[in-house]
Amino acid sequence: MKTKWIVLWAIIVRELRRFLQQRSRFFGALVRPLIWLMVFAAGFRAALGIAITPPYETYITYDVYIVPGLVGMVQLFNGMQNSLSMVYDREMGSMRVLLTCPEPLPFLLFARLFAGMCVSLVQVYAFLLIARLSGVDLPWSGFASVLPALVLTGLMLGAAGMVLSSQVRQIENFAGVMNFVVFPVFFLSSALYPLWKMQEASEWVYQLCRFNPFTDAVEMIRFALYGQWQVEAANHTVLATAVCLTLALLGYRPRQRA
Amino acid sequence: MPHPLSRLAALLLASFAASQAMAANVYVSNEKDHTLSVIDSSTLQVVKTLKVGKRPRGITLSKDGKSLFICASDDNTVQVMDLASGKITHNLPSGEDPEQFALAPDGKSLYIANENSNVVTIIDVASRRVTGQVDVGVEPEGMAVSPDGRWAVNTSETTNMVHWIDTATRKLVDSTLVDQRPRYARFSADGKLLWVSAEVGGTVSVIDVASRKRIKTISFAITGIPKDRIQPVGIRLTRDGRYAFVPLGPANHVAVIDAKTFQPVKYLLVGRRVWHAELSADEKQLWVTNGISNDVSVIDTAALKVLKSIPVGRYPWGVAVSGS
């Protein structure tokens, strides 16, 4: 049992160190959501009056509305980045080093997933802090209450990334994956607009958004920021994580050695 | 040493008493529903909706806090509601189309602006009789009585003036020009200043009561909101002279003004077309009515944050808070 903890710890430290050493990655992870926040939210501030929907108790500005979606975006990109680095590791051979570890493969994959989630937490909290200090009206208590939600959503999005990395053979293919996975997942969710607004626009877009697990992730983060726990969204997230993890495990079975 | 349980009971009782002391009723007139919504100020829930006369607009509490005066504009009357029973006990003769009124500090006279007939009607509350009418400018709207009871002021929307009525002689003695379409007037707690909002002008004028001259004009600017949507209406001033709160109509914001420097310090986002406001007795809450979004917003005046928006009837207009 003890070796498991050592392995887990080593993998977390390696991933965190790798992340912190790649300054441009840290920078990129922050700049992307901040641009959305500053440019989009400022532009839409007056144009979009967001009517009151739970968990909000009164009228909010658009910047407050999109923060949970952007937190989801940070974790989504981190999940993708993580899977990209797994593809890279595989090409460079460091994956083989990891897999020589005596622990079973499922544990190693989970440890890697967990480490990726920890990296996403660093990014999310840095983003939330900058957003709060730049005047976005977020409750400080939300910084603590959102943590369990972030752990779940980070695992789910990381697992989704692992499924992709198990299927993508070469780094070159990854740009395509970004376009065909990340953007639809982000746009067809409640990250940018409330679902009722989507429903007003088009019923089938609304249905797509409703069944997008990323919507559950965003809504769970949104409620958790205000100290509320969305049971249904949490269940969906756990389910999606389990499905992705199983698919990733199947994808990483040793038959891939070829 | 008392039993721990009895101490707990005492604690519970004390906290219950405290919450009881804080709880006030908030009354909101719903112009389109012909109703009055009653909100519990501690739970922030609507507890009752009462049927009243047609098109209720301005509302104000009697000095003893037992009854509520309601301008039933389309019934051309001022209704008096007994708050304990929630029943209308009698009507006061108000003149045509009463919209806003002000109760004298002694609680005996009611000064009513009659928008269509260009007069201010004075009513004796006890005898329920009209005791005087004063001709003012065109479309009288805002009404206020100074804390010392000496002045009754009225704003006329088309004449763009504040009319000063000497309450002793009931004569119009002076008028002060302000900006376009003055909607509302409010005296500071010390009675030295009169604040007047101009809906179309988009400004609030601060007038020195002694000289009846305008000493300051306050303008507003909210990022991302066109200037012409900034239409100040209601005004509330804290007793300590620190803040003035001004709902800005279709700008959907309430301006918080430093009442000493006359500078806006913050704009709070509320519902659509916010017109009137009232402070709670302890001045910890400010209630504002959002006419088009059919709700009221409650603001924490210490944190300067909107706590909650509560759905009421259609077109909420006036607001009164018990104890204040």
| A53 to chain B: closest CA residue | B309
pLDDT at A256: 46
Which among B224, B225, B309 has the least Cβ separation from residue A52? B309
pLDDT at A4: 81
Which among B269, B271, B308 has the least Cβ separation from residue A57? B308
Flag the least confident range among A161-175, B79-93, B223-237: A161-175
pLDDT at A144: 93
Q: Rg of chain A over CA atoms, in angstroms?
A: 19
CA–CA min distance B122, chain A (Å): 40
How many angstroms separate the CA atoms of A68 and A225, rounded?
8
- Residues of chain B with Cβ-Cβ distance to A59 below 8 Å are 252, 269-271, 297, 306, 309
Residue B44's alpha-carbon distances to A182, B307, B309, in angstroms, are 42, 10, 9
pLDDT bracket for residue A117 (50, 70, 90): very high
Interchain contact, B272 vs A60, CB within 8 Å:
no
How many angstroms separate the CA atoms of A215 and B268, rounded?
29
Interchain contact, A49 vs B272, CB within 8 Å:
yes
Q: Over 80: is that where the pLDDT of A258 sits?
A: no
Which phi and psi (to 5°) does residue B86 adopt?
A: 75, 15
What is the token pair recorded at A103? Answer: 């622990």
- Residues of chain B with Cβ-Cβ distance to A42 below 8 Å are 224
pLDDT bracket for residue B21 (50, 70, 90): very low
Per DSSP, which regions of A168-209 are E strands? none
Interchain contact, A46 vs B225, CB within 8 Å:
yes
Specify whether the CB–CB gap between B161 and B175 falls below 8 A: yes
Q: Which of residues A255 and A63 earns the better pLDDT score?
A: A63
CA–CA min distance B289, chain A (Å): 13
Q: Which residues touch A1 (CB under 8 Å, ≥6 apart)?
A: none
- Residues of chain A with Cβ-Cβ distance to B271 below 8 Å are 59
Give the mean pLDDT of A107-122: 89
Q: Over 80: is that where the pLDDT of B8 sits?
A: no
Residue B257's alpha-carbon distances to A1, B206, B226, B239, in angstroms, are 63, 12, 20, 14
| Total domain count, chain A | 1
Q: For chain B, what is the mean pLDDT?
A: 91
Residue A38's alpha-carbon distances to A10, A189, A192, B34, in angstroms, are 37, 20, 14, 44
How many angstroms separate the CA atoms of A159 and A191, rounded?
20
Closest listed residue to residue A196, CA positions, set A20, A65, A61, A38: A65
Angle, helices A105-133 vs A147-167, to 10°: value is 130
Give the mean pLDDT of B197-215: 96
Q: Over 50: is that where the pLDDT of A251 sits?
A: yes
Q: For chain A, what is the mean pLDDT?
A: 84
Q: Are strands B193-198 and B243-247 parallel, antiparallel or unpaired?
A: unpaired
Angle, helices A213-224 vs A203-211, to 10°: value is 70
Q: What is the 3-state secondary structure (H, E, C) of chain B?
A: CCCHHHHHHHHHHHHHHHHHHHCCEEEEEECCCCEEEEEECCCCEEEEEEECCCCEEEEEECCCCCEEEEEEHHHCEEEEEECCCCEEEEEEECCCCEEEEEECCCCCEEEEEECCCCEEEEEECCCCEEEEEEECCCCEEEEEECCCCCEEEEEECCCCEEEEEECCCCEEEEEEECCCCEEEEEECCCCCEEEEEECCCCEEEEEECCCCEEEEEEECCCCCCCHHHCCCCCCEECCCCCEEEEECECCCEEEEEECCCCEEEEEEECCCCEEEEEECCCCCEEEEEECCCCEEEEEECCCCEEEEEEECCCCEEEEEECCC
Give the mean pLDDT of A38-66: 75
pLDDT at B17: 45
- Domain extent for A245: 2-257
Query: How confident is the model over B226-235, as pLDDT tens digits?
Result: 899 999 999 9
pLDDT at A162: 86
pLDDT at A48: 54
Q: Rg of chain B over CA atoms, in angstroms?
A: 20
Q: Which residues touch A100 (CB under 8 Å, ≥6 apart)?
A: none
pLDDT bracket for residue B19 (50, 70, 90): very low
Of A35-39, B115-119, B190-194, give the range with the top mean pLDDT: B190-194
